[in-house]
Amino acid sequence: MRFERFSARVILLMASFGLLSGCGGGSSSDASAPSVGGGIYDDGSTAPFGLTERRPLGSLFLPTDSVDIGSYRLEASFPQLVFFHSIFVAGVPGENRLVVLRQSGQLEAFVNDTAASSTRLILDLAGIIVSGGEEGLLGLAFDPGFVTNRFVYVHYSAGGPRRSVISRFSWDTVLDRVELFSEKVILEVEQPFSNHNGGMLAFGPDDYLYVALGDGGSGGDPQNNAQNPDNFLGSILRLDVHPSNPFDPYQVPADNPFVGQNGFRPETYAYGLRNPFRFSFDRQTGDLWVGDVGQNEREEIDLVRAGDNLGWRVFEGNLPYDGSLNNLPAAAFVPPVIDYDHGQGVAVIGGYVYRGTRNPGLVGRYLYTDLVPGPVWALEYDGVNVRANDVIVSTTAGTNSFGEGNDGEVYLLQSDSIFHFVETANGGRSLPERLSETGIFSSLADLTPASGLIEFAVNQPFWSDGALKRRFAAIPTSERIEFSATEPWRFPVGSLLVKHFELELTEGIASSARRLETRLLIRTVNGWQGFTYRWNDDQNDALLLSGRAFENITVALLDGGTREQVYEYPSRTDCLTCHNDSAGFALGAKARQLNGDFAYPAAIDNQLRSWNNIALFTSDIGDPEQYGVFPAVADSAASLDARARAYLSINCASCHQPGGPTPVSLDLSFGTPLVDTGALDTAPSAGDLGLASARIIAPGDRARSVLWERMRRLDGDRMPPVGSHVVDELGVALIGDWIDTL
């Protein structure tokens, strides 16, 4: 039985006794050990393989072949088109075309046809805007009179000073493009930080332009902008962009709720919002729906009326956040229609009330989802009570935004594609309630894997609060993995990755280990899905969890003391927060992680060599010595830089890389030059944590480095923000030592 050990004390003790070797293999009495991955002894003989045959995959009772376990599935709307950095889609009024907005600054048009194979560049603001993180080209709206006046409005980020800009452009009919010289700036709002820009623009049924602006950023609204109605931030504005004097940028509608009130901006329609990234009007009722992104606890959906104070930062969703600001009666704040916790997502993506014809069952329901992989919900609200809040798609690959066509059909943007909803005749098979019913293990007593499952280990494990792990992989018998030396591997539909967790209740005593959970990552035709089974008190089976769970555990320490530890069992959404599209979903099964020895029953062998020997890859990968290795944290034979960069890549880069589910523009991937990570000597955009002259990474000074400070905290500023409640002392020391040498 092989476990990966994560306890800093245990690792240090093992290292001090010489128990951690570079290869982890043994040697025979008549031949010296082979080089790592080479498979050839010094005397020229061939080392035995750890895996000698590929056993057929047994019958697993898992929904690997399901279309969806909800009532709808997502189908690519334009399969021949790729939309990198897509952030919004809308119909062109009066035309059978759609436009897609790219955060990088482009507006492109294409025919609304599944066979569409090309797009036309209509506008390119790449040389004007500031893009990255939460900044960029964020919003688009067509003038109500677009068919005749050809006016389009955009919301973008600019620098010098940092600000949000609302501008109008003219779309030339003859040239079929927007010329930059046609810009008319409507409004500019200075931004104190780079995040929480809001971004949505839309014309209401009253033909006024509504503009969403976040609270100005950082974390926790440190300037209290959202509760200060005398500025534009943390608000939805309502502007008449057809002023009586055409040379004016706009005029304030006379019936705006705060016109003539001291201490209020007359442009304000509603305030008390944190980051209203997306809002929409119900095209039938005119209701204004807002998805407001929360702080650390709650995400909320609001139905907004004129003059509403939505509560931030006195409240976060329905929870009190900062009572010191609460100098108003409770009746002054309008609560959300619904909110949800971070066991179900981390950043709400507001959508639309469905008014299309393709899916009659959704008509009148408000659709919304989350930035990270998780469900799509359909909310039914009667104006007073939530009548239903159904999951219609169980898991997405993570969502950038929604959009709506001229016909009322709703689109969902994720990664680089646009999808629509298709009703399924029946959902996919549901997952068994007990781990014993899945067929993954032929014996739960000793976790003997079923036929076709291969146990493996990684060179540098992800920090999991001192837990011990075992890992298994299964590939359908007739399928193979697309190998890459540096990028994520591509697994076929039907693949399964299993990760089993135990925790020593007496540190360093293997016999005291208690089974906690077994996680499954399943590659279905609708993408990867994550599930958690929590072991029962009798330790003879594990039950499927429906959401996030916590447990308080007492661990006896080697020095005679104890540690009270909170252990967190992830929800299905939590699993896919790290196992996301940008990271390639399968985090551990990568070349640099498996390029090391494993003690198979047949022999100790390099894992890449053994997997290649039984034809698990689509092609022969050759000698593993040509591929890199992620060194272990305590591997003194590896350089400090290599160990630190590997640690950051494994523990941070799944989110902090281009396209990752985080608003901060960082790329902590192993192969990215340090100067290109966006971290070196860079002022933090999400708060300085009280550090003087703070930098994300302050060369030569860990004490000024926000990255290092976040690692050693357990409060709301901790990184990672979910799933960990114990500081990785060995990792903190490694990164601190590394920063001090820069």
Give 135-150 pLDDT, tens digit per residue. 999 999 999 999 999 9
CA atoms within 13 A on the CB side of 397: 25
- 75-89, 187-201, 350-364: range with lowest mean pLDDT: 350-364
Query: Considering the chain, what is the average pLDDT of its residues?
Result: 89
Q: So what's the pLDDT on residue 31?
A: 33
Beta bridge partners of 189: 164
3 state DSSP class of 334: coil
- Residues 564/552, Cβ–Cβ less than 8 Å: yes
Residue 376 forms beta bridges with which residues?
Answer: 393
Distance between CA 610 and CA 602 in Å, rounded? 11
Say whether the peptide bond before residue 720 is cis (omega within 30 degrees of 0): yes
Residue 161 — φ and ψ, nearest 5°? -85, 165
Residue 36 pLDDT > 60: no
What proportion of the chain, given as a percentage, has pLDDT over 70? Answer: 91
- Distance (Å, rounded) from C-alpha 70 to C-alpha 521? 18
Task: Supply the pLDDT for residue 64.
Answer: 58
As a whole number of angstroms, the distance between CA 446 and CA 688 comes to: 48
**Which residue's entry shows tokens 């100067």?**
675
Q: Inform me whether the pLDDT recorded for 428 exceeds 70.
A: no
Residue 686 clears pLDDT 90, i.e. is over it: no
Contact 562, 554 (CB under 8 A): yes
* Closest-CA residue to 148 (of 187, 91, 204, 93): 93
Q: How many CB atoms lie within 10 A of CB 624?
A: 24
Q: Which amino acid is it at 705?
A: S
Distance CA 590, CA 533 (A): 24
Cβ contact 301:290 at 8 Å: yes
Q: Where are the alpha helices (DSSP H) in 473-626?
A: 572-578, 591-594, 607-613
DSSP alpha helices (H): ranges in 632-683? Answer: 640-651
* Residue that is written with structure tokens 């003391």 in the block: 561
Q: What pLDDT digit, counting tens, does each position of 360-397 carry?
A: 788 889 999 999 988 999 999 988 889 889 889 887 88
CB-CB neighbours of 135 under 10 Å: 25
pLDDT for residue 429:
52
Q: Hey, what amino acid is at 570?
A: P
Q: Which among 171, 601, 422 has a CA at the least distance from the CA of 610?
A: 601
pLDDT bracket for residue 426 (50, 70, 90): very low
In this prediction, residue 658 has a pLDDT band, given cuts at 50, 70 and 90, of: confident
CA-to-CA distance for 39 and 20, rounded, in angstroms? Answer: 21
**Lowest-confidence region among 246-255, 272-281, 463-472, 520-529:** 520-529
Return the half-sphere exposure (C-beta side, CA atoms, 13 A cut-off) of residue 213.
32
Pick 657 or 290 by higher pLDDT.
290
Residue linked to tokens 């969502």:
399
Residues 6+ apart with CB under 8 A from 312: 215, 221, 226, 227, 234, 272, 273, 274, 292, 321
- The letter for the amino acid at 124 is D
Three-state secondary structure call for residue 695: strand
Compute the distance between CA of residue 544 and CA of residue 434 in angstroms, rounded to an integer. 6
The residue with tokens 């906690």 is 516
Please choose, from the candidates 354, 359, 368, the residue with its C-alpha nearest in 3D space to the C-alpha of residue 422. 359
* Nearest Cα residue to 4 out of 608, 453, 461: 461
| Both tokens assigned to 67 | 């279309």
Tokens for 479, please give them. 């399928």
Higher confidence at residue 8 or residue 260?
260
pLDDT band with cut points at 50, 70 and 90 for residue 11: very low
Contact yes or no for 405/420 (Cβ under 8 A): no
Topology adopted by domain 89-102+110-344: Neuraminidase (2.120.10)
Contact 330, 322 (CB under 8 A): no
Quick one: which H or E segment has residue 733?
A: helix 729-741
- Per residue in 330-346, pLDDT tens? 889 999 999 999 989 99
Rg of the Cα atoms in the chain? 27
Note the pLDDT of residue 3. 63
pLDDT at 600: 96
Residue 574 has pLDDT above 90, yes or no: no
Residues 510-542: b if buried by 16+ CB within 10 A, e if exposed:
eeebebbbbbbbbbbebbbbbbbbbbeeeeeeb
For residue 21, pLDDT beyond 90? no
244 contacts: CB under 8 Å, gap ≥ 6: 251
Distance between CA 518 and CA 474 in Å, rounded?
Answer: 15
Q: Where are the alpha helices (DSSP H) in 595-691?
A: 607-613, 640-651
Residue indicated by tokens 């990474």: 697
Average pLDDT over residues 276-298: 95
Residue 341 CA to residue 345 CA, distance in Å, equals 7
Cα dihedral: 720, 721, 726, 730 (round 10): 20
**326 confidence band (pLDDT: 50, 70, 90):** low
CATH 2.120.10.30 domain locations along the chain: 89-102+110-344
Maximum separation of any 2 CA atoms in the chain, in Å: 96
3-class DSSP state of 124: strand
At residue 307, the pLDDT reads 96
Q: Which residue type is seen at 123?
A: L
The CA dihedral of 409, 411, 417, 423, to the nearest 10 degrees, is -70
When mean pLDDT is compared over 23-32, 389-398, 693-702, the highest value belongs to 693-702
Instruction: Using the structure block, give the residue that is written with the tokens 């099964």.
Output: 589
User: How many residues would you count in the chain?
Assistant: 742
Please state the rounded mean pLDDT for residues 154-162. Answer: 97
* Average pLDDT of the segment spanning 643-650: 96
Q: What's the rounded mean pLDDT across residues 391-415?
A: 91
Confidence tier at 582 by pLDDT (50, 70, 90): confident
What pLDDT shows up at residue 558?
87
Average pLDDT over residues 492-503: 95
How far is it, in rounded angstroms, from Cα 49 to Cα 269?
70
